[in-house]
Amino acid sequence: RGAGVQACLAALDAPGEETRLVGGCVRDALLGTIVADIDLATTLRPEAVMACARAAGLKAAATGIEHGTITLIVGGEPHEVTTLREDVETDGRHAVVRFGRDFVRDAERRDFTINALSLDAEGRLHDTTGGVADLAAGRVRFIGDAATRLREDALRLLRFFRFHARYGSGAPDAEGLAASVAARDSLDRLSRERVRAEFLKLLLAPRAVDAVAILSETGLLPRILGGVGELGRLARCTAAEPRLDATARFAALAVRTIEDADRLQASLRLSRAEHARLTGYAAALAALHDRPVIEADAVPALVAIHDASPLRELLIALDGEPRPRVTPAARTKL
Sign of the torsion formed by the C-alpha atoms of 251, 253, 254 and 257 = positive
**DSSP letter (8 states) at residue 41:** E
* Three-state secondary structure call for residue 324: coil
**β-pair type (69-74, 59-64):** antiparallel
Residue 330 CA: distances (Å) to CA of 221, 280, 295, 312, 322 = 34, 21, 5, 10, 16
Q: Where are the domains of the chain?
A: 1-137, 229-334
Tens digits of residue pLDDT in 77-111 = 899 999 998 876 665 556 667 899 999 999 999 99
Whether the Cβ atoms of residue 109 and residue 87 lie closer than 8 Å to each other: yes
**DSSP letter (8 states) at residue 67:** G
Positions in the chain short of pLDDT 70: 1, 88-96, 307-310, 320, 322-323, 334
Tens digits of residue pLDDT in 1-59 = 688 999 999 999 999 999 999 999 999 999 999 888 889 999 999 999 999 999 999 99
DSSP characters over 102-169 = -HHHHHHTSSBGGG--EE-TT--EE-SSSHHHHHHHT---BSS-HHHHHHHBTTHHHHHHHHHHHH--
Nearest CA among 262, 264, 263, 316 for reference residue 285: 316
The answer to pTM > 0.85 is yes
Percent of the chain with pLDDT strictly greater than 70? 94
For 24, phi then psi, to 5°, come to -60, -35
Nearest CA among 99, 102, 90 for reference residue 18: 102
Nearest CA among 33, 64, 60 for reference residue 48: 60
Interacting residues of 134 by C-beta distance below 8 A, sequence separation 6+:
112, 113, 114, 140, 141
Tell me what pLDDT residue 31 has: 95
Tell me what pLDDT residue 93 has: 57
Tell me what pLDDT residue 280 has: 87
Residue 130 CA: distances (Å) to CA of 106, 116, 160, 166 = 15, 9, 17, 19
**DSSP letter (8 states) at residue 92:** B
CA-CA distance, 271 to 162, in Å (whole number)? 21
Q: Which superfamily is assigned to 1-137 in CATH?
A: Beta Polymerase, domain 2 (3.30.460.10)
Whether the Cβ atoms of residue 287 and residue 306 lie closer than 8 Å to each other: yes
**DSSP letter (8 states) at residue 298:** G
Tell me what pLDDT residue 90 has: 62
Whether the Cβ atoms of residue 177 and residue 214 lie closer than 8 Å to each other: yes
Name the CA dihedral angle for 42, 43, 46, 48, rounded to a multiple of 10 degrees.
-110
